Chains A and B, each alone.
Chain A
Amino acid sequence: MRHAATLLAAAVLLTAAALPARADVVVYCSADEKICRGLVTLFTKETGIKAEMTRQSSGETYARVRAEKENPRGDVWWAGTGDPHLQAAEEGLTEEYHSPLLPKLRDWAVKQAERAKFRTVGVYMGALGFGYNREELARRKLAAPKCWADLIKPEFKGEVQMADPNSSGTAYTMLATLVQLWGEEKAFDYLKKLNVNINEYTKSGSAPVMAAGQGETMIGVAFQHDVVMVALTGKPLVTVSPCEGTGYEVGSMSLIKGGRNPVDARKFYDWALGVSAQSIMPKFASYQVPSNAAVPVPKEAPDLSTIKLIDYDFAKYGSAAERRRLLARWTTEVKGAPR
């Protein structure tokens, strides 16, 4: 029994010892662990400011920022698809900031900032597309899919995987893209036909391309840079940019309102928009288009000149009301339809 009491006492002491050290800036990061870690380390190295990083998906980070709004713990929210950033801006969870680097950014990044009344800014851009598994395709001796329209061909029955737009920003981007490309009625006609070919609506947006890489499905809908990232780990994946044109995401960054380290947070913000931060991205297998105009597009990245980008209306399709309406319609008419 004496041992148990000792353990108890030791536990109490250990708890007291577990005091957190204060950091100069707390970064909520919604990219892959490797990228997040690398970025923060580089920031500390170049500026001497101690940064701390917590990694979660963009949906999780949004939920966290929202839950913490009465007493925020984070200072900057870096990366992750633009929609939750826009929604946070709409709800006033993030701070307005005009970075001195804004004029050095590419158009789409500044537009993202204007849309949110400068409560967020674009840090990278990536086009939507899909990836197919070369080996699986060869095994079935099928022609490679090149367009959105190819995905509803009968030979791909049960071979296409996409995420559920109710839970994934990637899949919601696809839904909004098709609506803007063809008009709402035609888009939903297409999605109903596609529903027959879908083998699974995954919960997470990155799951379909992972599954395609493993051969668990032939085709997975994803952002093209994610397809490239998985392909470079040695998986037989081919990136496709749909011939009809496609939408894109603007990976964003926001200052969290009421953060405890506003000065250093702004330093991180400016630094993350600068050349040195944005040019190391390919080193961490991140192949998006950087927002700083002086940084070249990585050579592994999907060739932008061959991608037909639509003029994606983030203001309309990023708004909570329109999103709720489209998702409700998709859930009843497409997901709820018999297969």
Chain B
Amino acid sequence: MMPLAARAWAVALAVPALLLPWYGQESLLAALRAGDAMPLAMVAWARPWLLPLLAVPLVALAASWRDAPRLLVAVSLAGLAWLCLESLAITHRGWAWAWIGGLLGAAPTQPALGWGALGYALACTMLAAAGLARRGWCRGDMFVLGAILLILGAILIFVFWPVMTVLISAVRDNDGAFAPVLFWEKFSDRSIWGLECLSDARSCGAAWNTLFLAVLVGVLSTLLGLAFALVALRTGLPLKGPIRLLSLLPIITPPFVIGLALIIMFGRAGFITSFLYQTFDIPRSRWLYGWPGVAIAQLLAFTPIAFLVLVGVLQAVAPSLEEAAGTLRAGRWHIFRTITWPLIRPGLANAFLIGFIESMADFGNPLMLGGSFNVLSTDIFFAVVGAAHDQGRAAILGIVLLAFTMAAFTSQRLWVGTRSYTTVTGKGDGGVPPPLPLGLRAACYATVLPWLALTVVVYGIILGGGFVVSVGRDHTPTLKYFLTAFSIDRGVGGWFLSGSAWSSFLTTMQLSVIAMPLTAALGLLTAWLLARQEFRGRGAFEFLTMMSFAIPGTVIGISYILAFNTPPVELTGTGTILVLAFMFRNMPVGIRAGIASLAQIDKSLDEASLTLGARSGRTFRLVILPILRPAIIAAMVYSFVRAVTAVSAVIFLTTAQYQLATVYIVGRAEIGEYGIALAYSAVLIVVMVAALIAIRALVGEQRIGRRQADTGAVPIGLSAS
């Protein structure tokens, strides 16, 4: 017999068809306001191509009562397919493709899809899942099938489709005509692949520059992160707390401000440069502008992430192994070389790849400090907005960047994913790690302490710079900048927010808070599917989920306008599109955090629950979710701070009602109002720290009946992979 759920969904399918407005006038949401929003059953008579859709609920009802799963799957998939086809073919301006007009004559029009269509698509998907489950797919588990189909559909609509609309312009000329020759011409351009920097003083192509920078930052951030991890865990220096604290800061730092702080210190007119010039007569130069400056800024930003990865790995190295080696009279160097090092090697690879990928995706630092050193992410931006206006070139650069990132992801999976280096078992480990070899310890101190000092000064400037007249020159305290941005005045109608930053600040907070649980839920559900369920095409599924992360933000922004500005899905100018951009861009973070946590939970727990008769949905809710608390916290925190600090992906999506904090900060910094930019950043940082603490309190700690081992930092983002 057909499960009840299938019948319920078949009934549910009739609801959007009969009750909810089929079309949205302005956007999915604004449909509610428009008076003439009619359900499918009403609009279909005027638009005959919708009539087949009306038949679907009837057939589905019959199929679910008669227990005919094959028919159910066929009819619900046919309904979905017809919905996609008709809404793509008939746009708000008539036929989407001119040749149909030749076949079928005059062009009808239809507005964007609304709530009704959304509910209809949702119900069709669930019916297909019910039918497939009945046919025995995924061990007949409807929850799993439904989740897979829904997430797949969402990713196809909100990641795959928009990205393709941009990438397709790689093979088109500026007027939209097909031009494969132009593709090759632009692709092989010297500004991408040139190698002149090896032979003379010219600069190399952006692709090589990007690779060089990414490798440099990857290697150095890994080494620095390792040094920090060793100092924090294996020496007696009481630095563990401060290092932990500092390791969180870069994640919650708005883009651009690290670069800004570096210019204030080391620029040609920076205060440290001036000091060196006045006291030691060291000539002032512009060394900061170019790859050295970008590399330093990126190291400041990404070393903490490497640290978080390595601290976890180093903690997982069972000290008893090292102790045993010590008992066997191995020297300290010998132990480090033959035991510790090999055991942390996968962590090193992981840390390197994260630094590598983050460096390639970084947009703010190269923009501030790049000078004549061109990298792909900024070149893409200026190919779109620059005087040349060449979207094709942007798409080609995007493809190159995508290829690099994908290669990095793949090698990460191949290299790290297949081996087991676990030394943590259920049994306790009473060993005490041996002290570090002297030389190594000295080297660690020599790198860690100056770097720590630099980080402290940089953050001193970021947090305090907005509250003095001119940082580095005139340190008279002032609230001038803060008040310009965040003043509250009393007017005729009572108190009101008169500061210029309030509107962008409140919008940012509202949208980020909305996006936070949605992103985390989407990410964790996907993680559970990837880690716990077997289904065909899982690899392709995973690839699709990572796609939005690997694509530079600017490309995402443009692609969202191109895909969602016109019917069938019309979202530009709403807050919804910003939330969606946040969700699908940051979802991989939740996935990584979830997969990492799930890997630590034995499958026997799920199986026990299933054996006791709970279905997988119930198991997920009652068994998996409670254990996943740390991952939930990590995913929520990270999606929140990522949404607050995002800039490149949203710069094209902001509108008058939806101004965002980062876009405002960038605008200030652009015209040299550093005071306001810094004051605003400081406020954002404080708010994010508060949010971090609040989320922790709200979601609560992990409740597992086990001694609280020092679990290290939360598995932030990719670091968990």
Contact = CB atoms under 8 A, between A and B. Distances in A.
A53 B656 contact: yes
Contacts, number: 187
A37 B511 CA distance: 23
Interface size class of B (residues with CB under 8 A): 35 or more
Contacts of A68: 561, 565, 572
Interface stretch (A19-27, A103-111, A271-279): A19-27
B385 A60 contact: yes
B274 to A, nearest CB: 9
A60 B383 CA distance: 11
Contacts of B510: 14, 18
Contacts of B387: 59, 83, 165-169, 171-172, 323, 327
Interface in A298-315: none
B103 interface: no
A60 B625 contact: no
Interface residues of A, number: 73
Interface in A51-80: 52-57, 59-60, 62-64, 66-68, 70-71, 73
A228 B672 CA distance: 14
A189 to B, nearest CB: 19
Contacts of A14: 510, 513-514
B544 interface: no
Contacts of A210: 670-672
Contacts of A169: 387
B514 A23 contact: no
Contact of B372 (A4, A32, A83, A200): A200
Nearest to A57: B385
**Most chain A beta-carbon contacts within 10 A, residue among B202, B385, B518:** B385
B519 to A, nearest CB: 10
Nearest to A3: B698
A54 B660 CA distance: 11
Contacts of B378: 203
Nearest to B578: A18
B263 interface: yes
B517 A11 contact: yes
Contacts of A37: 500
B269 A214 contact: yes
A94 interface: no
A62 B383 CA distance: 12
A167 B698 CA distance: 47
Nearest to A62: B389
Contacts of A64: 561, 652
Contact of B385 (A33, A59, A217): A59
A54 B672 contact: no
A334 to B, nearest CB: 11
Nearest to B560: A67
B29 interface: yes
A235 B306 CA distance: 41
B335 to A, nearest CB: 44
Nearest to B27: A20
B647 to A, nearest CB: 13
A301 to B, nearest CB: 18
B287 to A, nearest CB: 11
B289 interface: yes
Contacts of A213: 672
Interface in A165-203: 165-169, 171-172, 199-203
Contact of B29 (A16, A73, A233, A320): A16
B388 A8 contact: no
A42 B518 CA distance: 40
Contact of A20 (B201, B286, B385, B574): B574
Given A15-B579, A68-B561, A26 B656 contact: yes
A112 interface: no
A8 B516 CA distance: 9
Given A20-B573, A216-B269, A339-B202, A67 B385 contact: no
A209 to B, nearest CB: 9
B609 interface: no
A20 B511 CA distance: 13
Contacts of A73: 565, 572-573, 655
Nearest to B92: A71
Interface string B513-546: 1111110110000000000000000000000000
A15 B29 contact: yes
A20 B386 contact: no
A262 interface: no
B657 A20 contact: yes
B191 interface: yes
Contact of B656 (A54, A57, A60): A54
B201 A338 contact: yes
Contacts of B384: 63
Nearest to B366: A203
Contacts of B579: 15
Interface string A121-164: 00000000000000000000000000000000000001000001
Contact of A11 (B32, B267, B518): B518
A101 interface: no
B389 A216 contact: no
Given A14-B513, A63-B389, A54 B30 contact: no
A331 interface: yes
**Most chain A beta-carbon contacts within 10 A, residue among B562, B565, B700:** B565
A261 interface: no
Nearest to A60: B385
B386 A59 contact: yes
Contacts of B520: 4
Given A68-B565, A338-B201, A167 B386 contact: yes
Given A168-B386, A168-B387, A327-B388, A54 B655 contact: yes
B268 interface: yes
Nearest to A233: B672
Interface string A1-43: 1011001100100111011110100100000110001000000
A66 B656 CA distance: 18
Interface in B559-617: 561-562, 565-567, 570, 572-576, 579
Nearest to A133: B269
A324 B388 contact: yes
A11 B653 CA distance: 20
Contacts of A164: 382, 386
Contact of B389 (A52, A87, A199): A87
Contacts of B253: none
Given A8-B518, A53-B656, A200-B372, A18 B576 contact: yes
Nearest to B174: A320
B656 A216 contact: no
Interface in B260-281: 263, 267-269
A336 interface: yes
Contacts of B32: 16, 19
A8 B671 contact: no
**Most chain B beta-carbon contacts within 10 A, residue among A167, A172, A199:** A167
Interface in B651-698: 651-652, 654-657, 664, 667-668, 670-672, 698
A164 B383 CA distance: 12
Interface string B636-662: 000000000000000110111100000
Nearest to B573: A73
A29 to B, nearest CB: 10
B437 to A, nearest CB: 44
Given A60-B385, A83-B387, A201-B372, A67 B562 contact: yes
29 contacts: A4-B520, A11-B514, A14-B513, A18-B511, A18-B514, A20-B574, A33-B500, A33-B667, A53-B656, A54-B654, A54-B656, A59-B385, A60-B385, A67-B562, A68-B572, A73-B655, A87-B389, A166-B388, A169-B387, A172-B387, A199-B289, A203-B370, A203-B386, A214-B267, A215-B268, A216-B268, A323-B388, A338-B196, A339-B202
**Minimum-distance CB pairs A-B, first 8:** A215-B269, A167-B386, A59-B385, A52-B656, A167-B382, A18-B575, A67-B561, A7-B517
Given A203-B386, A214-B672, 9 more contacts: A18-B574, A20-B574, A57-B385, A71-B566, A73-B655, A166-B382, A200-B286, A200-B372, A210-B671
